[in-house]
Amino acid sequence: MDSDSSQRKPCRRCLLSEIDRNGVYRTVREYIASLDESVKCSREEYSQRLCVCKSCEHLSDGMCALCGCFVEVRAVKSNQICPDLPRRW
Ligand code: SF4
């Protein structure tokens, strides 16, 4: 048993906010904060979208396996849609 095996591994269904790998989430949060409010969806819509992503089999390590986006970035933009067919949000 190596020393890393006792550490908790992030699950596949984690959002980036739950992984915070090498500060990537901080960069993502800064990017989201830099976006003009006019391009963002409401907080409620954002939460609903992320809730759907959390239960989606395509979520892997904070990224959508279908489009390659960090879902927290894709979901915050009001003009973006889920890439699945049929779309989930
Ligand atoms: S397919 Fe849609 S719901 Fe699933 S992770 Fe990608 S963006 Fe989220």
| Residue of the CA atom closest to atom 1 of ligand 1 | 84
Annotated domain spans of the chain: 10-74
Is 83 touching ligand 1 by the criterion CB < 6 Å? Answer: yes
Cα separation, 46 vs 75, in Å, equals 6
What does the pLDDT look like over 14-32, one tens digit per residue? 888 887 777 888 889 999 9
- The DSSP output letter for 41 is P
- Kind and range of the H or E run holding 63: strand 63-64
* Inter-CA distances, 79 with 2, 6, 40, 45, Å: 46, 42, 8, 12
Mutate to test the pocket of ligand 1, among 48, 64, 77, 85 (most ligand atoms within 8 A of CB): 64
pTM greater than 0.85 (yes/no) = no
| Degrees, nearest 5: CA angle 84-25-76 | 45
User: What integer is the mean pLDDT of 63-86?
Assistant: 97
Which of 45, 55, 82, 87 to mutate to test ligand 1, by most ligand atoms within 8 A of the CB atom? 82
pLDDT band at 7 (very low <50, low <70, confident <90, very high): low
